[in-house]
Amino acid sequence: MTDIVDILLSASFWAAILRIASPLIFATMGELICERAGVLNLGIEGIMVFGAFAGWMAVYAGLPLWGGVAVAMLAGMAFGALHGVLTIPFGLSQHVVGLGITMLATAAAYYAYRLALPEVTNPPRITPFQPLHIPVLSDLPWLGQALFSQTALTWAGFAATGATALVLFRTPLGLAVRAAGENPQAVEAQGLSVTAIRMGAVIVGSGLMAVGGAFLTMSAFSSFFFEMVNGRGWICIALVVFGAWKPGKALLGALLFAGFDALQIRLQQTGLGQVVPYQVFLMIPYLLSILALIVMSRRAETPAALMTPFNRGDR
């Protein structure tokens, strides 16, 4: 028990929560935007892999860090556009296309990696984002290290959450996006194009997913590894459900989830880790995600037209 208290009192634990949550926050917001518009984007896992690769590769090739983020985002948007064209105007199964995009983007990243670096066993490192020093706040004892020692990309994730909430719930554009996911017929009746709105949402959402992936190679670590995304995309899909399709709640879910993840890593080092095999700790994030889905299932406020293609003229 004292172990847990020690962990909770250490500033590095709280800093780790924010760091672990950051990629999840970006990608969860991306998925949330897609689903609010009525499109389930199972391309998320692959888009994160490609974002992780593209951002890192761009910086390795000489671009500044923010240039790498932009490259990752553009690459994500390109995959989003492909997903969108196949699932929105053509109305193909969002499950099949999404999984296909994940396979395509993952394989594309690995292929490009091997083309660029044929012989290496240890991938080269880049200089990643450094913790942003915020005047006064970062210098506070304990609190400064716990909460204000993050990179600019983490703060961008919080900003993205705020922007998502603001646009979705306070602007006419957000209303149109949400309506496209709830009642596309009504959107068309207003003279707006459901196709255009959904395409825009999927492209922007996929861009955010790719930035989430890029966080891994450009802020959390400094190299690209195979299988480094490791199911984070699927966890984000669970987080969207857990957050009841609301940005604030989804952010809370991501932080809570990251909290458990940071805790299990530290518990492995304690006396508990001597008794319980490490695989059990590593299972916790996935089991928690399943649990979250079960708990929230009764209260789920799924967008009514999620996964329903819209074809003008159909009734």
Q: Residues interacting with other proteins, by CB under 8 A?
A: 42, 82, 86, 89-93, 95-97, 99-101, 103-104, 106-108, 110-111, 114-115, 118, 230-231, 234-235, 237-238, 241, 277, 279-280, 282-283, 286-287, 289-290, 293-294, 297-298, 300, 311-313
* CA–CA distance, 79 with 103 (Å, rounded to integer): 11
* CA–CA distance, 24 with 232 (Å, rounded to integer): 7
* CA–CA distance, 253 with 242 (Å, rounded to integer): 7
| Residue with smaller CB distance to other proteins, 90 or 169 | 90
Q: What string of DSSP letters covers 189-204?
A: HTT--HHHHHHHHHHH
| Residue with smaller CB distance to other proteins, 175 or 293 | 293
Q: Alpha carbon 197 to chain centroid distance?
A: 21
110, burial (CB in 10 Å: exposed 0-12, middle 13-18, buried 19+): middle
Structure letter (DSSP) for residue 139: G
Which residue has tokens 């990309």?
153
Amino acid, res. 273 = G
> Least separation, in Å, of the C-beta of 296 and other proteins?
9
Phi-psi region of 92 (alpha: psi -120 to 50; beta: other; left: phi over 0): beta
Helices and strands, counts by H and E, the chain: 14, 0
| Residue with smaller CB distance to other proteins, 103 or 186 | 103
> Least separation, in Å, of the C-beta of 297 and other proteins?
4
Q: What residues form DSSP beta bridges with 131?
A: 151
> Least separation, in Å, of the C-beta of 201 and other proteins?
19
| Residue with smaller CB distance to other proteins, 97 or 262 | 97
| Residue with smaller CB distance to other proteins, 129 or 224 | 224
| Residue with smaller CB distance to other proteins, 53 or 60 | 53
> Least separation, in Å, of the C-beta of 100 and other proteins?
5
> Least separation, in Å, of the C-beta of 314 and other proteins?
8
> Least separation, in Å, of the C-beta of 221 and other proteins?
20
